[in-house]
Structure 1
Amino acid sequence: MVDLLLNLQAPHRHLVEVTLRLVPRTPVLRLRLPAWTPGSYLIRDYVRQLEGLEAHQGQRRLALRRLEPSCWELVCDPTAGALQVRYRVMASELTVRTCHLDSEHGFLALAAVVLELEGERWSPHRLRLQLPEGWRPFLTLPQQADGSWLAPDFDALVDSPLEVGPHREHRFEVRGVPHRWVTWGGTPEQGDWLLQRFPTLLDDVAAVAESCCRLMGSGPPPCRDYLVVLHLIDDGYGGLEHDHGTVLVYGRRALETPDGLRKLLQLFGHEYLHQWNVRRLRPAELTPIDYQRPPIVPTLWFAEGITSYLDQFLPLLAGRSTPAELLGDQGEDLSRYRLTPGRSVQSLRESSQEAWVKLYRADAYAADSQISYYLKGAVLALVLDLHLRRHGSCLVAVLRNLWQGLGQWGRGYRETDLLAAFAAAAPDLAALLPAWLDGLEDPNLDGYLADAGLQLSAVAAPHPWIGLVARSEAGQLMASRVYRDGPAEAAGVMVGDELLALEGRRLREPEQLGSWLAAGQEQELLICRRGQLRFLQVQAQPPRTERWKLEEQPQATPEARERRQRWLGLLPC
């Protein structure tokens, strides 16, 4: 048994005081802090926030020898009683995968807090908390009679997100399984604002959760209970899945838009569906987790792409959105995909394998050389769904078969398992799917959409194309993106340049740049780079497609319209 005490009683310092206590089994013990947290594929080096590490056995302080940046070794006496390890963790970064502690709340991703003790990974871990007066803890571990929480092993401990604060908890059930919803919005009143703004929110969330259960055909959800923690901030979007809960971040400004609630329900649905696809039906490379090194997971296109495709259907299946809204959301994704040049540079399998070094470290030039496995995976999911329908099946049927054969038993899958499952439903996918994963050419998307009486229509930009995205900052117009092989790049513009004037006219807003461009003519662009003025000659090209719209084909046959209706309901043909 490992005893863990977290002291959060001085939140204004943003420091978590950590004490680990155990009876050592061996004379040499190694301690490691995880470098990443499952579900977020980036080495985060949490050790950056660790300070003041020391170990004691009785009255004797033990020497710690650092073997690696996040690994220490100490020599102790297994017969001399309990060993105590104490340290502090700085909690000042507010994301779903890091730690944040201030006078209003605390959130801890425990992979960033708890040292893994050699030989104790599969031992029970007991957690105790010391909190400011009036604060409550919210976590997914079972609470014991003495007020502590017990995790069966280290993995279960770090899989439990921990939110603390003077928050209110709201409860509902999904197929008999208890669910809790906790919102932190800066103050308890801000947390209540969400339910005041959307009085039916909990019913909407429960309906989306119910639609996940129906989609998977699995009866109740696989969790014993479920905790939803929402961080409601001015602007933000994201989530992280856990076996028995999720942490979401969402923007208040987004909720004020017509699509805001639907997008929040999609975000919740995405993380909720991960209970099946990712947490239990999981890549074999993540079984077990290696918390120190990044495993290459070539099937992230399935784990995240399939889920990203299906999450847009969940509000519709729950009766909380319309078919027109779904087409709009699908169209946004397809438009973003077609307008991302990196899809012709990085394959979908490469995107999955390179997640650790590319997707989460994207810079201003990233879109020219890479594509998100979330986005391209969702587009492939659409293609697979429509292709399977030509064979009398559908994507959900394949997902259910994988769940029943592997997921519900906790068996990890390899890519060969996925390929076999798709080929069993449509034999030609045995050759097509690997080609789509490895190739840079798009499948015949227009042909597949036509099967369901749908089409993508191009919407031209109102101004000539310069291959440049600019944003206004404090009265200055700055180049925030320069397209590869575009007119701005050819002229010598770089990201970070200040755009001062075009043909002698002062530039201050992006709209001015667009409206003053003349296609096919050389124009003089004055920029400032690192404090020096430069004149560049730029020649804009005719307007390009600004976006794509997914629409119903006016000439669609009755059979295509019927296929569209069944697709909207995720039903097989």
Structure 2
Amino acid sequence: MLTYRVRPQNPQAHLFTVELVIRGPVTTALQLTMPAWCPGSYMIRDFARNVVCFAAQAADGRALTLTKLDKQTWELVPGQGCIAPLIVRYQVYAWEFTVRSAHLDCTHAYFNGPSLLLQVSGHADRPCRIELLPPPGERYRDWRVATSLRALDAAPWGFGAYQADDYADLIDHPVEMGTFELISFAVRSVPHAMAISGRQRCDLERLGQDLGRVCEQHAALFGELPIDRYLFLTAAVGDGYGGLEHRFSSSLLCTRDDLPQPAGEGADAAPTEGYRRFLALCSHEYFHLWHVTRIRPAALMTGTLSAEVHTRTLWAFEGITSYYDTLALVRSGCIDTDAYLQLLAETITRVMRTPGRLVQSLAQSSFDAWTKFYRQDDNAPNAIVSYYAKGALTALALDLTIRRDTQGRVCLDDVMRALWERYGRTGVGVPERGVEAMAAQVSGLALDGFFAQALDGTTDLDLAPLLAQVGIALRLRPATGPKDLGGVVARFAPGVAKPSLAIRLSAGCADAVIQNVLSGGAGERAGLAPGDLVVAVDGLRVTAENLERRVAAAGADTAIRLHLFRRDELMELTASPAPAAADTCELMRLDPVPAGAAPAQAAWLACLA
């Protein structure tokens, strides 16, 4: 057995101390490896860079030799007559506030297993014991522990010893230490909880009720709940967003204002935009309980945590999940149909505003996630497409296509249940084209043409006729401003294409600093570049707030003078703004409703519980 002792030893210096005890006779050299990435995060993160000291000794106190072999691997040589157990001690600097890594200060401690816990060669399949210890000092006497690990001698929400079946199980249970609010609820008699750390004001009762309804929808879709406990770990901050799934829990990062307001402040009102976003995040990570953590790509089941693993299937695992995360909100009754269509319109808009959708296919986006999607640069909008957003639209198109062509007898829900039966319940990995094959098998349809276009092509999905089948009209119009993401309308009104440079400015900056220059636009033709600071249009000073108005006022195809700084050099360029592209989605309920559209829409959005 391996024993890990983890203590937030020095919160002021953001240092965790870890003691690893390796029991049993050890006669040959061992390799100790810090993972380079964590499951669910398709980006090399090089956690070993945060290890700041390293030492090893035998049970009799004799120092043992440690040799670093590469950026993340150390070799431990026991030596002649070495007395077990071997003890390895190291410290980890923890100051990255994400759901994938580790963070420690005087207010809380958090770690995701791969960022803190070494893997020991030859011991990966052995049971593990982890002892979670409090920081030293009286100021931390009120701290508790939130984790989905199975307790050995630890009290509920307490410090002490926990257990894991093996190393893979050990690193699949993130840990939060500190003071936090707790919400408890049950789904199909299985205990669920959410621990919320950070300053916040939240209607805990409403959040618990809404989460229960959303979780029940997912359980109803798959027909079972394959867990005996579940924990949402939520960190509320001033501005943040992110999530990471685990087999019995998820880690979430949210903006504190996105949480539901306490009673007396609109508790019975419809969810705000921020609360919808948070519920969708919870829904997304909970859906992964089945789809990703148990229905898994075969490629990710055979790979290691030290190198990239490429697969073309991320569009299905993240894209289908992104489709169902908001669909579950309307099916559960947490939002109404118009709110759901608003979210759908915004997703369509985001995809349409990405010129890279015409360059990179969805399968390529999945395969290159390590090097492109998670390492975006200033040219990313022109070169890549999100397998989350376009993957969600592909799932929508697949669902509506199957419903239409089978006259409603089959839908994507049936495909997901079949994937669960064949792969999730058996532990067999999904092959590279396994999702496509299952969709064809369950529906009985010839879907090769659909997938050739949606996954391997770069033409836009033709969503309008599919949505019309469920009583919804779609149109694209020019944006009215940078914050216009489209939405639901009672009727379509004429759109006005304002003159535009087709650039995006850096968010949160008062000055007009260019972040992206979109391919084929007036800004690119004029020679603008990312990082340029535009200071004047036709001799008048501009800021981030008024640049767009200045450009629009000049009129389309009218030459304007731009003064800007590129690095520290003042430059003058001439641009001819062109009408803004029709890239903003509006959805409208059809009136009158076509024959059959009303029941088709009802079946699509129906509660499954």
Q: TM-score range by the shorter chain?
A: over 0.9
Is 1:63 the equivalent of 2:65? yes
- Residue in 2 that maps onto 1:142: 150
- Residue in 2 that maps onto 1:174: 187
Please list the CA deviations of residues 72-131 of structure 1 after superposition, one character each: whole Å capped at 9, or x if unmatched: 112114752211111100000100001100000011011011110010101011101221
Q: After alignment, is 526-535 or 3-12 more displaced?
A: 3-12
- Residue in 1 that maps onto 2:113: 110
Is 1:238 the equivalent of 2:242? yes
- Residue in 2 that maps onto 1:15: 15
Amino acid in the other structure paired with 1:291:
L
SS at match of 1:54: strand
Whether the 8 Å CA contact 2:54–2:88 is kept in 1: the answer is yes
- Residue in 2 that maps onto 1:519: 556
SS at match of 1:550: strand
> Which of 588, 594, 599 is residue 562 of structure 1 equivalent to?
599
Tell me the CA shift for residue 448 of structure 1.
1.5
> 2-side partners of 1:470 and 1:265: how far apart?
29
- Residue in 2 that maps onto 1:453: 471
Tell me the CA shift for residue 544 of structure 1.
2.6
> 2-side partners of 1:124 and 1:529: how far apart?
58
Amino acid in the other structure paired with 2:417:
R
- Residue in 2 that maps onto 1:296: 310
Q: After alignment, is 117-126 or 513-522 more displaced?
A: 513-522
Whether the 8 Å CA contact 1:235–1:254 is kept in 2: the answer is no
SS at match of 1:415: coil
> Which of 109, 119, 131 is residue 122 of structure 2 equivalent to?
119
> Which of 136, 156, 164 is residue 151 of structure 1 equivalent to?
164
- Residue in 1 that maps onto 2:272: 258
Is 1:488 the equivalent of 2:528? no
Is 1:286 the equivalent of 2:303? no
Tell me the CA shift for residue 223 of structure 1.
1.6
SS at match of 1:89: strand
Whether the 8 Å CA contact 2:360–2:458 is kept in 1: the answer is yes
Write the mapping of 1:394-433 to structure 2, written as runs, cut at 5 A.
394-424=411-441, 425-433=443-451
> 2-side partners of 1:228 and 1:461: how far apart?
37
Write the mapping of 1:375-394 to structure 2, written as runs, cut at 5 A.
375-389=389-403, 390-391=405-406, 392-394=409-411
1:225 to 1:474, Cα distance in 2 relative to 1, 3 A: closer
Contiguous gaps of at least 5 residues in structure 2: 136-140, 155-159, 262-270, 481-497
- Residue in 1 that maps onto 2:377: 363
Tell me the CA shift for residue 289 of structure 1.
4.7
TM-score by length of 1: 0.94
- Residue in 2 that maps onto 1:464: 499
1:473 to 1:564, Cα distance in 2 relative to 1, 3 A: closer
> 2-side partners of 1:530 and 1:410: how far apart?
54
- Residue in 1 that maps onto 2:49: 48
- Residue in 2 that maps onto 1:210: 216
Tell me the CA shift for residue 546 of structure 1.
5.1
Tell me the CA shift for residue 474 of structure 1.
6.2
Q: After alignment, is 257-266 or 87-96 more displaced?
A: 257-266
Amino acid in the other structure paired with 1:69:
K
Whether the 8 Å CA contact 1:182–1:229 is kept in 2: the answer is yes
Whether the 8 Å CA contact 2:311–2:432 is kept in 1: the answer is no
SS at match of 1:250: strand
Whether the 8 Å CA contact 1:480–1:495 is kept in 2: the answer is yes
TM-score by length of 2: 0.89
Please list the CA deviations of residues 39-75 of structure 1 after superposition, one character each: whole Å capped at 9, or x if unmatched: 0100000011011111111322122222111011121
Tell me the CA shift for residue 556 of structure 1.
3.5
Is 1:131 the equivalent of 2:134? yes
Tell me the CA shift for residue 460 of structure 1.
2.4
Please list the CA deviations of residues 278-308 of structure 1 after superposition, one character each: whole Å capped at 9, or x if unmatched: 0111111121451101111211111110010
> 1-side partners of 2:213 and 2:548: how far apart?
47
SS at match of 1:88: strand
Q: Which runs of at least 4 in structure 1 moved beyond 6 Å after TM superposition?
A: none
Whether the 8 Å CA contact 1:507–1:513 is kept in 2: the answer is no
Q: After alignment, is 272-281 or 259-268 more displaced?
A: 259-268
Tell me the CA shift for residue 510 of structure 1.
3.3
Is 1:532 the equivalent of 2:569? yes
Tell me the CA shift for residue 445 of structure 1.
1.9
Whether the 8 Å CA contact 2:330–2:337 is kept in 1: the answer is yes
> 2-side partners of 1:558 and 1:370: how far apart?
39
Whether the 8 Å CA contact 1:230–1:249 is kept in 2: the answer is yes
Amino acid in the other structure paired with 2:300:
L
Tell me the CA shift for residue 480 of structure 1.
1.8
- Residue in 2 that maps onto 1:39: 40
SS at match of 2:500: coil
> 2-side partners of 1:90 and 1:426: how far apart?
54
- Residue in 1 that maps onto 2:177: 164
Q: How many residues are aligned here?
A: 562
1:536 to 1:148, Cα distance in 2 relative to 1, 3 A: same
Tell me the CA shift for residue 526 of structure 1.
0.3
Tell me the CA shift for residue 202 of structure 1.
0.6
Whether the 8 Å CA contact 1:491–1:537 is kept in 2: the answer is yes
Whether the 8 Å CA contact 1:472–1:508 is kept in 2: the answer is no
Is 1:30 the equivalent of 2:15? no
Tell me the CA shift for residue 471 of structure 1.
4.5
Write the mapping of 1:345-360 to structure 2, written as runs, cut at 5 A.
345-360=359-374
1:326 to 1:410, Cα distance in 2 relative to 1, 3 A: same
> 1-side partners of 2:282 and 2:573: how far apart?
48
Contiguous gaps of at least 5 residues in structure 1: none
1:473 to 1:277, Cα distance in 2 relative to 1, 3 A: closer
SS at match of 2:399: helix
SS at match of 2:347: helix
Tell me the CA shift for residue 402 of structure 1.
1.0
1:173 to 1:475, Cα distance in 2 relative to 1, 3 A: closer
> 1-side partners of 2:318 and 2:104: how far apart?
30
> 2-side partners of 1:532 and 1:416: how far apart?
52
Aligned-pair Cα RMSD in Å: 1.8
| Identity in percent | 34
